[in-house]
Amino acid sequence: MSKLTKLLLAAALAFSANAHASPILTGFTQTKVAAVDDGSTKVNLAGGMKLGLNGSIYSSLFINTNGNVSFGSGMTNYVPASFESNSYAGSFLAPFFGDVDISNGGGSIGYGNTKFDGHDAFAVTWSGVGYYPRKNDKKNTFQLVLVDRSDTGANNFDFYYNYGSIQWDKTTTADKSRAGFHLQGTAADFEFEGSGAAKQLLDSGKHALVKGSNVGVDGRYAFNVRDGVAEYGLAPVTPAEVPLPGTLPLLGVGAIALAYGRRRKA
């Protein structure tokens, strides 16, 4: 085996390990919301974080137990309709919109400030949450991370959906769940492939959330909001910006190959 092959193999293994590590951010203090069914908790964003979304600027949001955060008002909907429908009164980000029920000790929902890729961030974690009515034989773990990107423009931000395990999508109130986001008054709604279809988003499903990614880390999906407009994926990286953690191993592969090639030519 050549030296270059060994170097590339080592870099590929590092990428593989990164891709299969849990994407859930930990190691920061979290405040728990009340253990109720269909609850909604208003939270002020700390550190001066402001989110520009669809023509409005928010310094607070509502954490809703049913797998989403909303803006302007709380949302207790527990049967998710299509995100393109007119069933919703306001905008929301929904890593996993289903009828979560933590009133019987079925997991917890916590939030807190942290850092991500060197930027101030705010995370909400649905940890091992059960489903209605007060069932916890199957559990879902997922997370929303809001990242301050005011370095790219006032009130800009990125947001990430991180998935640990998705074991249920059906309750006695609904036979399916959904994942994506809805922006009131715009056509920028988004749902993952398989959203709203039974069993598709589960760990064993055809479109398992824990197995996909758009940043090279299994179970992590990135979105960017620039000038109030939300899009799937990240905005183009400028020289002043740092690559995402999930892209570093790939960059490393290229750098190793380039450096080795230059040494051979020298």
| Average pLDDT of the chain to the nearest whole number | 86
pLDDT at 230 over 60: yes
- pLDDT for residue 123: 98
Q: Is residue 254 part of a domain?
A: no
Structural domain boundaries, residue 210: 23-240
| Band of pLDDT at residue 232, cut at 50, 70 and 90 | very high
Report pLDDT digits (tens) over 24-57: 999 999 999 999 999 999 999 988 899 999 999 9
Cα 218 to Cα 164: distance, rounded to the nearest angstrom? 9
Count of the separate structural domains present in the chain: 1
Q: Is residue 179 part of a domain?
A: yes
CB 5 within 8 A of CB 253: no
- pLDDT for residue 243: 47
Q: Is residue 144 part of a domain?
A: yes
Q: Is residue 250 part of a domain?
A: no
- pLDDT for residue 21: 83
Q: Is residue 12 part of a domain?
A: no
Report pLDDT digits (tens) over 237-257: 655 444 444 444 433 434 433
Report pLDDT digits (tens) over 153-162: 999 999 999 9
Q: Is residue 248 part of a domain?
A: no
Across 90-106, b (16+ Cβ under 10 Å) vs e yields bbbbbbbbbbbbbbeeb
Q: Is residue 106 part of a domain?
A: yes
pLDDT at 6 over 90: no
Q: Kindly tell me the sign of the dihedral angle through the C-alpha atoms of 189, 63, 49, 209.
A: negative
